[in-house]
A = this chain, B = another copy of it.
């Protein structure tokens, strides 16, 4: 598959790197290629500058958002929540038309420090905002409930025995994303229903960040434990 990953941060690097390892043709999109490649310092989260990461991942190409998104089989939104709508608006309309968007972003607002609040919640979600802005996209929310390393290597905790979620209005798009999750190693994927159910997974983040703070690590995942059937 040709996969376009929008965003060059921790999530973008994790998914772009893993999809490339798995044999996909991966292009990473950024707002301003020159500015992105000019950075020489780690970002605020301690991730290496993109230029260093790209040198270590020569099969991944960096391009501007509109160029990166040409002819993609799958679009992945790995931008920050605050940057998601602008990133998607930057694409050529034809590059969005009918495309499946795996939306990983969370609408986190760090303006008051840690823990972040949510800029949209309860009666709306970032996923729905994106879908309303671009009805021609087929938005599927997934992977936004875990740290980047576990998105692409779920086996790193509990041998992968935990749960991922998908939300979306288009069943075929959800099936396509569920197949991608399976390729990444996610064995238990719950289809929560239509895209409004992304309100639920996005609203997990306030609990997620507090569990991370209590455990002192983001390397945990939630498993939905059911009764034996």
Binding site for B on A (CB under 8 A): 115, 117-118, 121-123, 156-158, 161-162, 190-193, 197, 199-201, 203-204, 206-211, 213-215, 217, 219-227
Contact = CB atoms under 8 A, between A and B. Distances in A.
Contacts of A208: 200
B211 A190 contact: yes
A219 to B, nearest CB: 5
15 contacts: A121-B203, A157-B225, A190-B215, A200-B207, A200-B208, A200-B210, A211-B224, A220-B224, A220-B225, A220-B226, A221-B224, A221-B225, A222-B222, A222-B225, A223-B223
Interface of A is mostly: mixed
A161 B191 CA distance: 23
Nearest to A204: B207
Given A192-B213, A193-B210, 4 more contacts: A162-B223, A220-B224, A220-B226, A220-B227
Contacts of A220: 224-227
A203 B206 contact: yes
Contacts of A156: 227
A186 to B, nearest CB: 13
A168 to B, nearest CB: 13
Contacts of A222: 222-225
Given A193-B214, A207-B200, A225 B122 contact: no
A197 to B, nearest CB: 5
A150 to B, nearest CB: 9
A201 B207 contact: yes
A121 to B, nearest CB: 6
